[in-house]
Amino acid sequence: MGLALIVRRRMRALFRRTAVEQELDDMLRLHFDLDAKSLERDGVPPAEARRIVAARNGGIEPVKESVRDARGTRPIEELARDFRYAFRTLAAAPVFTVAVVATLAIGIGATTAVFSVVDGVLLRALQYPNADRIVVIWETDRNSGTTREAGSLADYFDYAASAHAFATIAGFKQSTPTLVTDDATQVNAAAVTHEMFDVLGVRPTYGRAFTAAEDEPGAAGVAVLTDRFWRARFGGNPSIVGRTLRLDDSLYTVVGVLPPGVRQPSEKTDLWIAARFVKAGATRSNHSVGMLGRLRSGVTLDAAQRETDALARRLETDYPRDNTARGVHLEGLDDALVGNVRRSLATLFAGVALVLLIACTNAVNLLFARHAARTHEVAVRLALGASRRRLAQQFAVEGFVVSVAGAALGLLLAALALHVLPSIAPANLPRRDDIVLSLPVFGFALVVCLAIAAAFGLLPVVQHRGAAVLDAMQTRGTAGSHGHQRLRRMLIVGEVAVALVLAAAASLVLRSFDNVLAVDLGFNAGHLFEAHYTLPQSRYPQDYSKFPAGWTQMLSYQRDLETGVRALTGVRSAAIAATDPLDPGFTNGFVIVGREAEAQRGQAELSTRPVSASYFETVGVPLLRGRLFTDRDDASTSLVIVINQAAATKYFGGRDPIGQRISFWGQAREIVGVVGNERFGGLTTDAPPAMYPPIMQAPMSTATLLVRTTADARDVPARIREVMRHVDPLVAPFGARMVNDAVEDAMSPQRFIASLLGGFATIALLLALVGIHGVISYNVVQRQREIGIRVALGATRGSVIRAVLGQALGLAAIGIAIGAVGALAAGRLLSSQLFGVGPGDPIALGAAVASVVAIAFIGGAWPARRATAVSPMVALRGD
């Protein structure tokens, strides 16, 4: 009963305020009138009666106040009044308001956007149950220094059978078969063992998982679809379960659909098929089986690593021919997925944190300036009896209004940025779909706001203690705040220092990116088109006993495709290669004939890149020595090979490699030429040593068609597809694109970092400019009188400007000195992400210092001009 009554009465007091106040007035007036009347009845004259009543009762207004106090709605009414007052005063100072709101919006917006990316990519846990127990089992090769290689099939069987640290281990092999329906399209398939479901801890949304029997050699093919592929290709129709798909020449029954969020083994995976690996005669020399394990509960990654290390050593002893120098490297699935981007995202996060720091500093600085201007107001109000609590609340409300406006605008900016970011984010950024504006981030922004609001409220009140009130009133708010001024200068110094750190980091990264752009790829990517294809084993048999001459179907497909494409108008040349010029491809062990001892001692494998004779011309790799092979070097003639400059230098030193013989895949091949280095190991990696056998002497079931077109041949891709359909209608091209786009993609991580850090540095410098300008011009206003006196005493324009500018540059100098230390440290942290630039690069650091000096100059020049405009008479009369 009580609460309802009170709520009803409070609501009435708040929302029927006029009526309630009128009633109060009526009630008290009646009381006072009746009091006076009763005195009049005793013979007191009316005027005198009124005076006595007023004196006795203390006047109507104080009584009203005490009733309002008792009413219990006062705090709410005061808050409402404070909000009205805040809006009014903020609207009266538009420059201040816009500056603070914009500063906060930029700071909060940038932080929120970048944090959302970090949250989506790095922090959000994988969507599998106990995902921290899922481990990628890589094989390593001490000879080549490889630490992340797929295992061999035989090794997989051994690890799966013997590694007790794991509850279960799954093997998988990725392939790109053609899905044959009315049309032929390439799909990304993963042949997975049935344990994959248990390793990830997932169950299909529709249908069921593979059974152990379906994973046996010889069992009929079964498949499950990933959620993404099922929706894109089959419109999310559950009736797909039970239907049959044709991949190349084999049939697979769809038994299930995976839940969304399953992106193993790769983001691109369209479907899983039961692996049906054959244990008998499994190879140890071919490394194509990926391994994923689930740790038993309570087993640490280190313990598992120790156990598998021991297993790897046993395999080394048992199978010295294939497993010498082979080890195992365990990596948590999460690390394996995002490990390579973690460092660059951490860099961005650090950068944006610095932007937020500057933004907050700037906001606090602006608030300081405003409070300085209000010193007088606060002092007077305190002297008149306003309570500190009331004043603090009023200022806090003002701070709250500003910071909420800043936060709202900032979240809007963040939402916009997140709209744009994914399109400029590098192609290798995993889980891009997971990037959404996150709630924790919103909370974070709110906390920042409340902190600023609180600071805003407490500062002016804390400042005025006791005697200071009188002081402040006497000085009329023009001076009397020296401590205040010192604090503001320190904030500016800090801002400059942080801005320098960001500017230095940005110029290092920009210079590094410049170097990436200037990299000589070793080939010409202009007007170069590529498309990949895979030939199904059923119609293109691979008989290793008669290699390469026995692989007729594959050889004739290669020849027909190349001839057909070359005949198209708009095509300048065409080639077929095992891998495109940006793909590291695969490596092979090898022996230089006559130097078998070196191979026995263990040597790194050579990148093996079978290509057709026209490859070098098509891609634009120069011949340095000897000859290129021609179309006449085919399966019927003696085996030849071309090596790159890196291989010639590494394995033949000063000697002439031409005429030497390299043996691999059981055959010796004569080196006939040396070609230039292509950077297929990555844009910022020197070309690894490589050998190029003629693809007609080393046919490949998965290969790339490379076509150099004339400048205006936009319809070539469509006609190439036509040719492919003509050669074999069931082989579909995939990954068709211009190589230049691939080069752009390869640069996108660096471009992403460079453009974001560059943007952050620009924001930081602009904010620092606003800060310097604010402090210096405030100072000029404070010293107006002093300047006026100086001018009156004969100071020149030049000396006034020098004094003001000197102050700005002096602050900047201290900031630069402090920031330089931070800039060097930041450079060192960045060094692993830099290419061709040292962490202490003088040009980059010089540019950063120059930009900071420039903003200090601009920030000081403005107020300096104003200072010279001070008329001595006006300044002296100012008080």
Partner 1 sequence: MPAASRDVVQGTVDMLVLKALSLAPMHGWGITQRIGQITDGVLQVNPGSLYPALERLEDQGWIAAEWGTTENNRRAKYFHLTAAGRRQLGQETASWRRLSAAIETMLRTT
Tell me, what DSSP letter sits at residue 182?
Answer: S
Select the span of 57-65, 373-381, 640-648, 833-841 touching partner 1 (CB under 8 A): 57-65
7 binds partner 1 (CB under 8 A): no
Nearest residue (CB) to partner 1, 30 versus 310: 30
One of 45, 58, 602, 682 touching partner 1 (CB under 8 A): 58
Write down the least CB distance from residue 81 to partner 1, Å. 21
Write down the least CB distance from residue 132 to partner 1, Å. 57
91 binds partner 1 (CB under 8 A): no
**Are residues 689 and 647 in contact, defined by beta-carbon separation less than 8 angstroms?**
yes
70 binds partner 1 (CB under 8 A): yes
Select the span of 51-59, 198-206, 453-461, 652-660 touching partner 1 (CB under 8 A): 51-59
Write down the least CB distance from residue 361 to partner 1, Å. 48
244 binds partner 1 (CB under 8 A): no
| CA dist 675 → 628, 649, 694 (Å) | 8, 12, 14
Nearest residue (CB) to partner 1, 10 versus 268: 10
One of 6, 436, 873, 874 touching partner 1 (CB under 8 A): 6
Tokens of 752: 């992403």
One of 11, 19, 27, 593 touching partner 1 (CB under 8 A): 27
Write down the least CB distance from residue 386 to partner 1, Å. 22
617 binds partner 1 (CB under 8 A): no
Select the span of 63-71, 122-130, 356-364, 689-697 touching partner 1 (CB under 8 A): 63-71
List all residues 6 or more positions away from 766 whose beta carbon is below 8 Å from its beta carbon: 855
| CA dist 662 → 145, 627, 632, 637, 718 (Å) | 22, 16, 20, 16, 40
One of 16, 17, 19, 26 touching partner 1 (CB under 8 A): 26
11 binds partner 1 (CB under 8 A): no
Query: Measured between alpha carbons, how far is 560 from 365 in angstroms, rounded to an integer?
Result: 73
Nearest residue (CB) to partner 1, 34 versus 873: 34
Query: Measured between alpha carbons, how far is 731 from 725 in angstroms, rounded to an integer?
Result: 7
Query: Measured between alpha carbons, how far is 575 from 173 in angstroms, rounded to an integer?
Result: 28
Select the span of 58-66, 84-92, 338-346, 784-792 touching partner 1 (CB under 8 A): 58-66
Write down the least CB distance from residue 411 to partner 1, Å. 41
Write down the least CB distance from residue 1 to partner 1, Å. 6
Query: Measured between alpha carbons, how far is 163 from 311 in angstroms, rounded to an integer?
Result: 8
1 binds partner 1 (CB under 8 A): yes
Tokens of 736: 């068709």
Nearest residue (CB) to partner 1, 5 versus 718: 5
Nearest residue (CB) to partner 1, 69 versus 631: 69
Select the span of 23-31, 213-221, 401-409, 531-539 touching partner 1 (CB under 8 A): 23-31
Write down the least CB distance from residue 10 to partner 1, Å. 9
792 binds partner 1 (CB under 8 A): no
**Are residues 581 and 523 in contact, defined by beta-carbon separation less than 8 angstroms?**
yes
Determine the distance from the C-alpha atom of residue 117 to the mean position of all C-alpha atoms in its chain, rounded to a whole number. Answer: 5
Strands in 428-585 per DSSP E: 528-534, 571-577
Nearest residue (CB) to partner 1, 49 versus 837: 49
Q: Report the run of H or E that residue 40 belongs to, with start and end.
A: helix 17-41
One of 11, 19, 46, 66 touching partner 1 (CB under 8 A): 66
467 binds partner 1 (CB under 8 A): no
One of 21, 50, 52, 57 touching partner 1 (CB under 8 A): 57
How far apart, in Å, do the first and last CA atoms of the chain sit? 62
71 binds partner 1 (CB under 8 A): yes
Q: Per-residue b/e over 643-680, b at no fewer than 16 CB within 10 Å?
A: bbbbbbeebbeeeebbebbbbbeeeebebbbbbbbbbb
Nearest residue (CB) to partner 1, 22 versus 387: 22
Q: Are strands 702-709 and 571-577 parallel, antiparallel or unpaired?
A: antiparallel
Nearest residue (CB) to partner 1, 58 versus 878: 58
One of 12, 31, 51, 329 touching partner 1 (CB under 8 A): 31
376 binds partner 1 (CB under 8 A): no
Query: Measured between alpha carbons, how far is 374 from 399 in angstroms, rounded to an integer?
Result: 14
Can you tell me whether residue 319 is helix, strand or coil? Answer: coil
16 binds partner 1 (CB under 8 A): no
Query: Measured between alpha carbons, how far is 570 from 572 in angstroms, rounded to an integer?
Result: 6
Query: Measured between alpha carbons, how far is 450 from 42 in angstroms, rounded to an integer?
Result: 62
Nearest residue (CB) to partner 1, 30 versus 825: 30
23 binds partner 1 (CB under 8 A): yes
**Are residues 397 and 458 in contact, defined by beta-carbon separation less than 8 angstroms?**
no
One of 45, 48, 69, 123 touching partner 1 (CB under 8 A): 69
Query: Measured between alpha carbons, how far is 451 from 269 in angstroms, rounded to an integer?
Result: 46
Select the span of 52-60, 255-263, 742-750, 783-791 touching partner 1 (CB under 8 A): 52-60
**Are residues 13 and 70 in contact, defined by beta-carbon separation less than 8 angstroms?**
no
Query: Measured between alpha carbons, how far is 321 from 738 in angstroms, rounded to an integer?
Result: 42
63 binds partner 1 (CB under 8 A): yes
Nearest residue (CB) to partner 1, 28 versus 479: 28
Nearest residue (CB) to partner 1, 58 versus 806: 58
Write down the least CB distance from residue 68 to partner 1, Å. 9
Select the span of 33-41, 160-168, 314-322, 388-396 touching partner 1 (CB under 8 A): 33-41
Nearest residue (CB) to partner 1, 72 versus 238: 72
Write down the least CB distance from residue 405 to partner 1, Å. 37
Write down the least CB distance from residue 39 to partner 1, Å. 13
Nearest residue (CB) to partner 1, 6 versus 874: 6
List all residues 6 or more positions away from 355 whose beta carbon is below 8 Å from its beta carbon: 106, 107, 110, 111, 502, 760, 763, 764, 767
Nearest residue (CB) to partner 1, 9 versus 559: 9
Tell me, what DSSP letter sits at residue 688?
Answer: P
| Site residue total, partner 1 (CB under 8 A) | 28
Q: Are strands 640-644 and 667-675 parallel, antiparallel or unpaired?
A: parallel
One of 11, 16, 46, 72 touching partner 1 (CB under 8 A): 72
Determine the distance from the C-alpha atom of residue 180 to the mean position of all C-alpha atoms in its chain, rounded to a whole number. Answer: 38
One of 15, 19, 48, 62 touching partner 1 (CB under 8 A): 62
Query: Measured between alpha carbons, how far is 401 from 258 in angstroms, rounded to an integer?
Result: 48
Tell whether omega for the bond before 265 is within 30 degrees of 0, i.e. cis. yes
77 binds partner 1 (CB under 8 A): no
Q: Per-residue b/e over 570-584, b at no fewer than 16 CB within 10 Å?
A: ebebbbbbbbbbbbe
Query: Measured between alpha carbons, how far is 552 from 558 in angstroms, rounded to an integer?
Result: 10
Write down the least CB distance from residue 387 to partner 1, Å. 19
Query: Measured between alpha carbons, how far is 363 from 566 in angstroms, rounded to an integer?
Result: 65
Phi, psi (degrees; rounded to nearest 5) at 239 = -70, 0
Nearest residue (CB) to partner 1, 64 versus 719: 64
One of 9, 124, 231, 313 touching partner 1 (CB under 8 A): 9
Query: Measured between alpha carbons, how far is 576 from 720 in angstroms, rounded to an integer?
Result: 13
Select the span of 30-38, 454-462, 489-497, 845-853 touching partner 1 (CB under 8 A): 30-38
Return residues touching partner 1 (CB under 8 A). 1-2, 5-6, 9, 23-24, 26-28, 30-35, 38, 56-58, 62-63, 66-67, 69-72
